[in-house]
Amino acid sequence: MAKYLLSIDQGTTSSRAILFTTQGERYASAQEEFPQYFPQDGWVEHNPNELWQSVLSTCQKVLDENQLSASDILGIGITNQRETTLVWDKNTGAVIYNAIVWQDRRTAFFCDSIDCQDIKNSIMDKTGLILDAYFSATKINWLLDNVPGAREKADAGQLLFGTVDTFLLWQLTAGKSHKTDATNASRTMLFNIHQQCWDDELLALFSIPKSMLPDVMDCAAEFGVTQSSLFNGEIPILAMAGDQQAALFGQACFTEGMAKCTYGTGAFLMLNTGNKALKSTNRLLTTIAYRLNGDVTYAIEGSIFMAGATIQWLRDQLKIIDKASDSEKIAENTVVEHGVFLVPAFTGLGAPYWDPNARAVISGLSRDSGRNEIISAALQSVAFQSKDLQNAMAKDGLALSFLKVDGGMAENNWLLNFISDMLSITVERPDIVETTALGVAYLTGLQAGVFSSVDQLSTLWRCEKSFTPQISEQKKNRLYAQWQNAVSKVQS
């Protein structure tokens, strides 16, 4: 009987359960969206029970629809939206509050209050991160200070913290495992990425008791087994990785210098830097790419907040397209140098600017500019922002030699051509674009002994289509200079 690897891909807006064969081929999947809650301006929450039920029901659905039982599954791997923060009672399992989502800005004020360069430098040195509300640490601090009784219970050792991976593991194992992996730990702003341990000074800075924190494991490890009532039998949980790290793994970026960019709601460019944790002086993040058998591989990461979300804005707010994919045809039929620039700073600017107060503009409009130019400018902004990241990496001494891409926007050929033009490198799209789920399936397979090594996994990666630069150097430079000019207008 064939056996399968089951990937749980718990994203910001939906949960997916995807089955892969032991040859690393996608076999079947189920997906479910869940509600988003915005209780105040800048606050974003998920209901933990809805989140867990969406995972449970997609897993049960994909097994049922394919007439599979627990014994057909070699192992489960969990990949997840990163940084999102949950706290629950160790004894009853009851969460003390909704999940505070990575996008949530309620602790920005607290971050601003830490106005000491030495502390910021120390955070960067230890965690590779820029002090920002994005990461888990200040979210945990907020929960302990704002949920009645939480601080006392935490001090008494009765509360546990987890990012989504840890919360799902706790649910899957009926409270038997309280663990995370090194990639998720590296996004909490509490984990020393050099020493591979929770950092006492940072825990003190954010007033978080160490007893709340999960054990940190390799990405491929024995995380526990599912309680048998869930899937009519036990299934081992063998892998974990944050979504962007899992995508890097699924893109087989296993050697230093290999890079991927996932173009979804936002865009996340990650470059493998091997066993060196390089420190960026250009406001990029240093992060753990993966940890296998105790060996850490590091990456440099640049996050763009608005990529596909800008196209959603064209569809839902401006209502100038019916569906995201319409943007491709329109851009194809519009001249490239139309003079219109859309800087999508709807929620501020991410790397390398980190400017939360910037707001979006459309600039360069003339009497003959219209819908098509705005749509083209929206797509172009994704490529220009990628070039901003490439430039920041170059200033840190890191060259991108080619780029593997995935995510919903990677279906847009016009966009991939334009990214190749702006970055002056080859852009490659794989045949399996669900690289996040694939990456954690690879990790699960490594732990299950289905795959022997990352070298073997490299041979499984297939390019579906590649894009090479076509634009002239002068035209590229002209366009990019105009983009930089437009960005300078929105910076606060």
Instruction: Give the binding site for ligand ADP (CB under 6 A).
Output: 11, 13, 264-265, 308-309, 311-312, 324-325, 327-328, 407-409, 411-412
Q: Which residue's CB is nearer to ligand ADP, number 216 or number 330?
A: 330
Q: Which residue's CB is nearer to ligand ADP, number 174 or number 360?
A: 360
Q: What number of other Cβ atoms are within 10 A of residue 32's Cβ?
A: 16
Distance, in Å, from the CA atom of 226 to the CA atom of 70, rounded to the nearest integer, reads 10
Shortest distance, CB of residue 419 to ligand ADP, whole angstroms? 12
Which residue pairs from 226-229 have beta carbons closer than 8 angstroms and sit at least 24 positions apart in sequence?
A: 226/70, 226/76, 226/172, 226/173, 227/172, 227/173, 227/174, 227/176, 228/70
Shortest distance, CB of residue 306 to ligand ADP, whole angstroms? 9
Helices 473-490 and 371-395 meet at what angle, rounded to 10?
90
Q: Which residue's CB is nearer to ligand ADP, number 124 or number 378?
A: 378
Shortest distance, CB of residue 415 to ligand ADP, whole angstroms? 6
Residue 128 sits at φ, ψ, to 5 deg, of 80, 5
User: Do strands 45-46 and 73-80 pair parallel, antiparallel, or not at all (unpaired)?
Assistant: unpaired
Q: Which residue's CB is nearer to ligand ADP, number 60 or number 312?
A: 312
Burial label, 423 (beta-carbon count in 10 A; 0-12, 13-18, 19+): buried
Q: What number of other Cβ atoms are within 10 A of residue 472's Cβ?
A: 10
Question: Which residue number is nearest to ligand ADP in terms of Cβ?
Answer: 408
Shortest distance, CB of residue 413 to ligand ADP, whole angstroms? 9
In contact, 78 and 440? CB cutoff 8 Å: yes
Shortest distance, CB of residue 414 to ligand ADP, whole angstroms? 8
Shortest distance, CB of residue 325 to ligand ADP, whole angstroms? 4
Distance, in Å, from the CA atom of 492 to the CA atom of 485, rounded to the nearest integer, reads 14
Q: Which residue's CB is nearer to ligand ADP, number 79 or number 188?
A: 79
Distance, in Å, from the CA atom of 87 to the CA atom of 106, rounded to the nearest integer, reads 17
Shortest distance, CB of residue 90 to ligand ADP, whole angstroms? 32
Sheet of strand 267-274: strand arrangement: 285-292, 295-304, 267-274, 259-263, 402-406, 426-430, 463-467
Shortest distance, CB of residue 323 to ligand ADP, whole angstroms? 8
Residue 480, CA atoms < 13 Å, CB-side half-sphere: 22
Distance, in Å, from the CA atom of 223 to the CA atom of 77, rounded to the nearest integer, reads 10
Q: Which residue's CB is nearer to ligand ADP, number 418 or number 442?
A: 418
Shortest distance, CB of residue 242 to ligand ADP, whole angstroms? 13
Shortest distance, CB of residue 358 to ligand ADP, whole angstroms? 20
Q: Which residue's CB is nearer to ligand ADP, number 111 or number 311?
A: 311
Residue 175's SS3 state is coil
In contact, 439 and 251? CB cutoff 8 Å: yes
**Is the CA virtual torsion 88, 93, 95, 96 positive or negative?**
negative
Omega prior to 35 cis, within 30 of 0: no
Q: Which residue's CB is nearer to ligand ADP, number 57 or number 312?
A: 312
Q: Which residue's CB is nearer to ligand ADP, number 271 or number 405?
A: 405
Q: Which residue's CB is nearer to ligand ADP, number 17 or number 448?
A: 17
